[in-house]
Structure 1
Amino acid sequence: MEQNHCTGVRSAEGWRPPHDFRGVRTPSVQASRYSARVTMVTPSDHLLRTESGLEEKVAVVSLARPDVRDIVGQAAIVRYPGPDGKPIDHTLDFVEEMVDDSRVAMIVKPSATADKRGTRGVLKAVAAHAPASVATRFVLATENDVSPAQVANARLIHAVRTLGPAPDDPAVHAVAACVRGPMTIGEAVERSRTHAEGFRAAVRLLADRRLVTLSKGRITRRTLVGPAGEDAR
């Protein structure tokens, strides 16, 4: 079954559909027995379709990070020589476009599959033969890079960003501007005299790195937060 996280774009002129896929190949909507298809909209208002549950988790976590500007699926095909000298074409799963203008190419595989198929060797070969324009760094992303808490927090950030600013945001922003030490999100919401919208406003501040989490795990009202620049425990 295909899941669809597409919302299109809301503007003063009304709703408009997102742009088409940016990659060199558009994944089919037809999922196999052991795969999944999820379609979402990236910050640049382009469609992105993942081909497995792990790819979807990696993409959602990437897009929740403040240092990632956008992500492109099936971003480039890199040709490298195989063990017998014959050329092999590899399509990169993702390329993250970072806010500092660097690009991070990713191969996404479950760790057991990566070990069995020698994916780290493939990654090394792809990195050695890819044009400089493809990426500045090449990484292997496995399930070990996206914990359940990271995925849950990324989905929460995606949800509050989709909802957009609310009337209670300025009250929470005012409290956050005065934060000098650790406090829970619940305490910040209480000080701002807001309720559910206050919680969502606090999550938007975390997404924008105007506040940082000081405790690990899923983001809840009990999560400790502090001013930007402090390290998470």
Structure 2
Amino acid sequence: MRHEHFIKQHMLNIRNGIKVSFTVPTETTYHKPTVPPRYTPVLQSRGNRKPSVKSPFNWRGAQPSLDGERVMHFESSIELKAGRILRADRNVVELREQWPTVKYLGADGKMHKHTFDFWLRLKCGKRISVAAKPKDIVVSSGLLDILRRIYRMGVADYADSISLVTEAFANAAANANAEWILLSRRNRNEEEYQAAREFVAGMSGPMRFWDMLIVTPLVAYRRTAIWNLIDEGVLQPVEAGRITDASLLVKGN
């Protein structure tokens, strides 16, 4: 965390009545997942293309696939964030990047190829091909025209619909929430989860995230459990946006 961000967060904590202890503990607190992590050889991406390793304009790199067995390449910050958000979404049961590659008839009358940034399948069975692009260049890049042409030619062989993702979807708040959800899934402790679920069972109205943490001796374990509850829809924020210690949570529907 940058120095100025730390100061801002500290001032926000004071304003919200959140008293964080800066005492250095005598012992290190480690995650204690009920299911120990598995470390297996990482499989190659199932995408049709691998972006270049470096770029002077966009981010480059890889993140885990939905099942954690493969790598998923990305070539922009929007793709990185969108990948995390989609992985954290429990409605998504299958996710691929840089796939499929389809042909379409261009404005010049010639056939061209386009590779979608993501392809996903939802619990309901719906398949969606997703293009990711910054909103400022969606039109100037010609992407909208390309997607229209592809859709008119028919997409039934590989998808049920086409979608466009910009930073309106892949924003910093949604990305931060997705990071916490993915981390908490990996470190879920069933005993702590059940204790947290029993604690929130008696809620009759909104309760602050921080107030759910300070009732336990180890805040880190309860924080993971609360995020598990958010992940499963047992709890949900009152307001949209980034979930912080000051966020109000209510029971899910």
Counterpart position of 1:128: 152
TM-score by length of 1: 0.84
Counterpart position of 1:168: 192
1:37 to 57, 60, 77: 60
Query: Could you tell which deviates more after superposition, 118-127 or 164-173?
Result: 164-173
Q: Which has the larger radius of gyration?
A: 2
Secondary structure of residue in 2 paired with 1:107: strand
Q: Quick check: 1:48–1:73 contact (8 Å CA) kept in 2?
A: yes
The 1-side partners of 2:98 and 2:187 are apart by 28
Q: Which amino acid aligns with 2:162?
A: F
Q: CA deviation at 1:179?
A: 3.1
Structure 1: unaligned runs, 5 residues or longer? 1-10
The 1-side partners of 2:124 and 2:41 are apart by 28
- Residue by residue over 1:150-190, the C-alpha shift from the partner in whole angstroms, topping out at 9 and shown as x without a partner, is 11111222222232336422210212333342212223334
Q: CA RMSD in A?
A: 2.2
Counterpart position of 2:227: 203
2:78 to 54, 58, 61: 54
TM-score by length of 2: 0.78
The 2-side partners of 1:227 and 1:46 are apart by 35
- Residue by residue over 1:93-118, the C-alpha shift from the partner in whole angstroms, topping out at 9 and shown as x without a partner, is 10122122212211111111112123
Counterpart position of 2:104: 80
Counterpart position of 1:100: 124
For this pair of structures, how many residues does the alignment match?
A: 218
Distance 1:128-1:175 versus aligned 2 partners, 3 A rule: farther
Counterpart position of 2:178: 154
Percent identical residues = 25
